[in-house]
């Protein structure tokens, strides 16, 4: 029997012909698709076409992974508010795990239903797993759910850098399904932001990562909240490797921290904070409790998290360390590493805004020219002024400090494999200009 005569192949060609006929006849009905989505267990859904201008910065990446994608289905799963607000991180973390699992099952069910109709569909993870090979080298996430949700009308970004749903507020997790079909109607973004600018997220954040002026410090947030994930896990492993014996290890890591790490490995991540979500009063379902009695809301929701005695994980010398000392003296500061080591000069330059500690740069006004040679050649200008950071390619303007460095040597210094002073003495790193300005530069980054 020839291949074209095989029953499976014959049925395939029949399906292709029928599918082509359906696609030619009409696009998918958005209202019907919405009902199908809600039946899978998601709490709200929106639709975005791949050519939407709000997705321009990730369109190429999406099409590289899913070249057939024409529509993105964005959906949310509602989080139980009281669970997330609990000072017991085990309760809050379990709630996040359960909602994420529910959304994963919903996405898979939706994809299966669409595939049975002959429509290609894919379901990227809502969170983890990610493409870990890209750690510090590019994007770990296959897709960025937040801008897709915003484009789909499911919310707007709040001061805390999370999507706030108009009804459920900050108490949502996000997911996306990509499909090959086009729809007869697409969603539009909200015409307002549910964020009420109350700044309770600022007040509750244990690391001060959220500024009242809108500034956000991702490295300080990640170092604490993700202590048992990503680079925090790397730091823990290195603590084990660097310890001479069990007594030495216990001097670096408490028994409770070891048990907590075991718990994360067995049960899933235990997030140390996410207080910014817990205290957010935005959203139609959430705001009545806040508007009815703001003082009671603060006493019942915000203060239990502020007053909790707990370890806060900070990078030594960071703005987060200073914040805990001043705002939360009853919390225990744990000075740790976060496993963030740029593997290339390009990654170093890209990561600088993430690691920038703006309060450490106060009163510093200087321009730095960097020239890297060796395995990686690059020129860059870094301007630190008025607690802001600006990075440009090439040498721009007049430098207060010029730094010439062998690229491999510079990276070894960043990785703490050798000392800056030693490499300056060996002239593998050359600094021209006031050394106090060069030292001040180093203090601006954690």
| 395-433 residue pLDDT tens | 999 999 999 999 999 999 999 999 999 999 999 999 999
Residue 133 burial class via C-beta count within 10 angstroms: exposed 0-12, middle 13-18, buried 19 and up: exposed
Locus of tokens 């030495």: 248
Task: State residue 16's pLDDT score.
Answer: 73
Locus of tokens 């997705």: 55
| Stretch(es) of the chain classified as CATH 3.30.1050.10 | 345-443
Give phi and psi for 192, each to the nearest 5. -155, 165
Q: Which of 44, 23, 61, 49 is nearest to 103 (CA)?
A: 44
- Supply the CATH classification number for the domain 345-443: 3.30.1050.10
Q: Which of 299, 297, 308 is nearest to 273 (CA)?
A: 308
- Whether the per-residue pLDDT at 14 is higher than 80: the answer is no
Task: State residue 97's pLDDT score.
Answer: 96
What's this model's pTM, rounded to 2 decimal places?
Answer: 0.89
Task: State residue 25's pLDDT score.
Answer: 47
% pLDDT > 70, the chain: 97
User: By three-state DSSP, how is residue 86 classified?
Assistant: coil
39 neighbors 32 (Cβ within 8 angstroms) = no
Structure tokens at 21: 């006929």
CA dist 169 and 201 (Å) reads: 13
Residue 258 burial class via C-beta count within 10 angstroms: exposed 0-12, middle 13-18, buried 19 and up: middle
147 neighbors 130 (Cβ within 8 angstroms) = no
pLDDT tens-digit readout, 268-285: 999 999 999 999 999 999
pLDDT tens-digit readout, 210-245: 999 999 999 999 999 999 999 999 999 999 999 999
| Mean pLDDT across the chain | 94
């Amino acid at each position: 029997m020839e291949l074209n005569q095989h029953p499976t192949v014959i049925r395939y060609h029949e399906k292709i012909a029928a599918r082509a006929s359906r696609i030619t006849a009409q696009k998918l009905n958005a209202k019907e698709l919405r009902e199908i989505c809600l039946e899978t267990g998601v709490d709200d859904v929106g639709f975005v076409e791949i050519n939407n201008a709000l997705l321009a910065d990730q369109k190429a990446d999406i099409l590289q992974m899913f070249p057939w994608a024409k529509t993105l289905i964005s959906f949310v799963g509602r989080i139980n508010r009281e669970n997330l607000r609990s000072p017991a991180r085990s309760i809050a973390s379990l709630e996040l795990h359960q909602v994420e699992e529910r959304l994963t099952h919903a996405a898979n069910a939706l994809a299966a239903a669409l595939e049975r109709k002959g429509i290609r569909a894919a379901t990227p993870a809502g969170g983890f797993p990610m493409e870990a090979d890209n750690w510090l080298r590019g994007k770990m996430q296959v897709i960025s759910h937040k801008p897709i949700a915003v484009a789909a009308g499911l919310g707007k970004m709040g001061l805390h850098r999370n999507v706030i749903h108009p009804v459920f507020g900050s108490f949502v997790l996000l997911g996306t399904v990509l499909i090959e079909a086009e729809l007869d109607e697409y969603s539009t973004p909200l015409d307002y932001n549910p964020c009420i600018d109350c700044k309770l997220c600022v007040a509750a954040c244990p690391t001060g990562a959220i500024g009242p002026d809108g500034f956000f410090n991702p490295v300080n947030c990640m170092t604490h909240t993700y202590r048992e994930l990503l680079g925090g896990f790397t730091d823990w492993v290195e603590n084990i490797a660097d310890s001479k014996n069990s007594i030495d290890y216990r001097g670096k890591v408490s028994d409770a921290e070891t048990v907590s790490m075991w718990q994360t490995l067995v049960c899933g991540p235990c997030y140390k904070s996410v207080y910014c979500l817990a205290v957010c009063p935005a959203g139609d379902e959430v705001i009545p409790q806040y508007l009815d009695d703001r003082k009671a809301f603060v006493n019942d929701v915000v203060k239990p998290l502020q007053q909790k005695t707990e370890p806060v994980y900070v990078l030594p010398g960071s703005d987060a360390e200073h914040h805990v000392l001043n705002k939360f003296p009853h919390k225990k500061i744990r000075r740790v590493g976060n496993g963030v080591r740029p593997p290339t000069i390009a990654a170093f330059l890209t990561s600088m805004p993430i690691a920038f500690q703006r309060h450490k740069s106060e009163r510093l006004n200087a321009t730095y020219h960097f020239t890297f040679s060796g395995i990686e050649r690059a020129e860059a200008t870094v301007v630190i002024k008025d607690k802001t950071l600006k990075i440009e390619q090439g040498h721009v303007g007049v430098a207060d400090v010029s730094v010439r460095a062998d690229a491999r040597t510079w990276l070894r210094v960043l990785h703490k494999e050798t000392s800056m002073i030693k490499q300056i003495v060996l002239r593998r790193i050359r600094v021209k200009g006031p050394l106090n300005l060069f030292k001040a530069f180093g203090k601006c980054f954690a």
